[in-house]
């Protein structure tokens, strides 16, 4: 399935505000959607399924087109951790089926068991994957698209090169491809499109927004960090995750544990372990492109401008395939 045609009119640029533990809540999702960027959050950010129910009602009301919300509103999505250790999986799934957000993004496990009910409810299903093996399994199980988690992504990270990952799938797969990892501006969004992705997935960039749930100190640390300050650790959830070195050092972890050839150390994911570590300062390589904490209205404007600027730059009278700027 390709990106729904109607979304082209609803998106200011082909971008998703990615779901982030302890960072994405209703304010971030609503602000992103109202400003033309797909807004998403993990269901576990709500403290209970009842709170999730209230969040989804609030988000639906605030993103409904009314006189005060008159321009097109981008879709909204929820991230559901489908790992067996998620004690709320069944309750949160039922809640999503009742509220019918336009998109559900599954992560940390096989989406197979939830695709049927989600499709029956008319919800588009994307599976978050970090390897070709998992990508093919998700495609076989019938997802509408994939989120390709690549190297440098904030939080639980991928290890694959982003361009290689998209190219390995794009020629044979006509479903939706979303590229995640290391994208903080409109130039990066265009790079994702040029590689063959339909959408770019921006996490770290949205930590440093006024609507995020991150503390002021965490937002500022993201603004001040460069990609050299990002280290990979399994301390957070049992899977390899990118976090700010300053947070690890403040918590007495000075060295990133060694990782295997696939980038993971295979200690195994556990949802309760992830949720038992609130206020982790996770962030990815894209911190280098973040210079201020912004309102999402300003960020959306900036991203759209950069996206246009990047296209214009590439179209500047190329001579023999080489842009004038490089001669
Ligand atoms: C602080 C933080 C928390 C995250 N939490 C989740 C999560 O709960 N579920 C999920 O699927 N991905 C999570 N991610 C991954 C993002 O959804 C996304 O894939 C990633 O941020 C993209 O890379 P970028 O940070 O370089 O933009 C998290 C990322 C960050 C930075």
Tell me which residue has its CA closest to atom 8 in ligand 1.
21
Quote the pLDDT of residue 71: 77
Report how far residue 115's alpha carbon sits from residue 37's, in angstroms, rounded to the nearest whole number: 24
Ligand 1 atom nearest to CA at 45: 8
Tell me the mean pLDDT in the region 9-34: 97
Q: Which two tokens stand for residue 85?
A: 């250790």
How far, in Å, is the centroid of ligand 1 from the Cα of 316?
Answer: 35
Please list the alpha-helical segments (H only) found in the chain.
Answer: 7-10, 26-34, 49-62, 89-99, 112-120, 132-141, 162-170, 186-195, 204-207, 216-224, 245-250, 271-275, 296-315
Closest CA to 296 of 54, 15, 61: 15
Q: Specify the CATH superfamily of domain 7-215+283-326.
A: Aldolase class I (3.20.20.70)
Quote the pLDDT of residue 261: 46
How far, in Å, is the centroid of ligand 1 from the Cα of 313?
Answer: 30
Closest CA to 148 of 140, 270, 133: 133
Quote the pLDDT of residue 301: 97
Ligand 1 atom nearest to CA at 105: 11
The pLDDT tens digits for 224-259 are 999 999 999 887 777 889 999 999 888 876 554 555
Return the domain boundaries, the chain.
7-215+283-326
As a whole number of Å, the end-to-end CA separation of the chain is 41
Question: Residues 21, 289: contact at Cβ < 8 Å?
Answer: no
Range in 4-18, 54-68, 270-284 the model is least confident about = 270-284
Quote the pLDDT of residue 253: 66
Per-residue pLDDT at 267 exceeds 70? no
Per-residue pLDDT at 305 exceeds 60? yes
The pLDDT tens digits for 169-179 are 999 999 999 99
Confidence band for 2, pLDDT divided at 50, 70 and 90: confident
Question: Residues 160, 178: contact at Cβ < 8 Å?
Answer: no
Tell me the mean pLDDT in the region 91-119: 97
């Amino acid at each position: 399935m390709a990106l729904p045609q109607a979304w082209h009119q609803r998106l200011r640029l082909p971008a998703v505000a990615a779901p982030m533990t302890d960072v994405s809540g209703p304010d971030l999702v609503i602000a992103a959607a109202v400003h033309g960027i797909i807004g998403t959050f993990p269901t576990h950010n709500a403290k209970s399924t009842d709170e999730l129910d209230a969040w989804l009602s609030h988000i639906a009301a605030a993103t409904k087109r009314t006189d005060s919300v008159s321009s097109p509103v981008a879709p909204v999505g929820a991230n559901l951790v489908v790992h067996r250790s998620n004690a709320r999986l069944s309750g949160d799934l039922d809640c999503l089926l009742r509220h019918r957000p336009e998109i559900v993004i599954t992560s940390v496990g096989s989406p197979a068991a939830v695709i049927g009910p989600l499709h029956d409810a008319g919800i588009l299903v994307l599976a978050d994957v970090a390897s070709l093996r998992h990508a093919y399994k998700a495609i076989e199980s019938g997802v509408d698209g994939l989120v390709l988690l690549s190297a440098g992504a904030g939080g639980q990270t991928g290890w694959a090169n982003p361009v290689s990952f998209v190219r390995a799938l794009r020629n044979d797969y006509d479903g939706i491809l979303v590229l995640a990892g290391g994208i903080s501006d409109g130039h990066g969004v265009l790079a994702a499109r040029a590689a063959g992705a339909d959408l770019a997935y921006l996490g770290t960039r949205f930590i440093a927004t006024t609507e995020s749930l991150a503390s002021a100190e965490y937002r500022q640390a993201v603004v001040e960090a460069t990609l050299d300050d990002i280290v990979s650790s399994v301390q957070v959830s049992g899977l390899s995750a990118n976090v700010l070195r300053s947070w690890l050092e403040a918590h007495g972890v000075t060295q990133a544990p060694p990782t295997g050839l696939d980038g993971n150390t295979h200690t195994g994911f556990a949802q309760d372990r992830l949720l038992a570590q609130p206020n982790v300062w996770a962030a990815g390589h894209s911190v280098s492109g973040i210079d201020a904490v912004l309102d999402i209205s300003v960020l959306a404007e900036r991203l759209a401008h950069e996206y246009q600027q990047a296209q214009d730059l590439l179209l500047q009278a190329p001579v023999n395939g080489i842009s004038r700027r490089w001669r």
